[in-house]
């Protein structure tokens, strides 16, 4: 987001995030993507786009940690079961 634009309309945010209209508006409704109103126009601040990208990245990292933790727990359980058999 190297340009100097500070407020984006929905279609511009769609292009920036490469997401569909329905996804953008669902994220706005859910509060995961912030917006402001200027008259009848809903605008998405550039800072909100950056925060949303950070949110997505954080969620992906947490999911990865969860998967790794699941594998680790499975390995420990299998090792304990193996020890109990001998």
Give, for all 86 residues of the chain, the pLDDT tens digit: 457 889 999 999 999 999 999 999 999 999 999 999 999 999 999 999 999 999 999 999 999 898 888 988 999 999 898 888 87
- 42 lies in some domain: yes
The SS3 assignment for 7 reads: strand
- 1 lies in some domain: no
Radius of gyration in angstroms for the set of CA atoms belonging to the chain, rounded to a whole number: 21
- 55 lies in some domain: yes
What are the two backbone dihedrals, phi and then psi, of residue 34, each rounded to the nearest 5 degrees? -80, 155
pTM of the complete model: 0.72
Which pLDDT value is given to residue 24?
Answer: 96
Number of domains forming the structure of the chain: 1
- 15 lies in some domain: yes
Give the range of the structural domain holding residue 14, as residue numbers without chain letter: 7-85
- 2 lies in some domain: no
Which pLDDT value is given to residue 2?
Answer: 55
């Amino acid at each position: 987001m190297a340009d100097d634009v500070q407020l984006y309309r929905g279609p511009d945010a769609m292009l920036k995030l490469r997401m569909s209209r329905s996804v953008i508006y669902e994220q706005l409704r859910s509060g995961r993507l912030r917006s402001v109103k200027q008259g009848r126009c809903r605008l998405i601040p550039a800072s909100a786009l950056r925060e949303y990208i950070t949110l997505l990245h954080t969620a992906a990292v947490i999911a990865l940690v969860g998967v790794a933790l699941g594998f680790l727990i499975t390995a420990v359980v299998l090792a304990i079961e193996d020890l109990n058999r001998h």
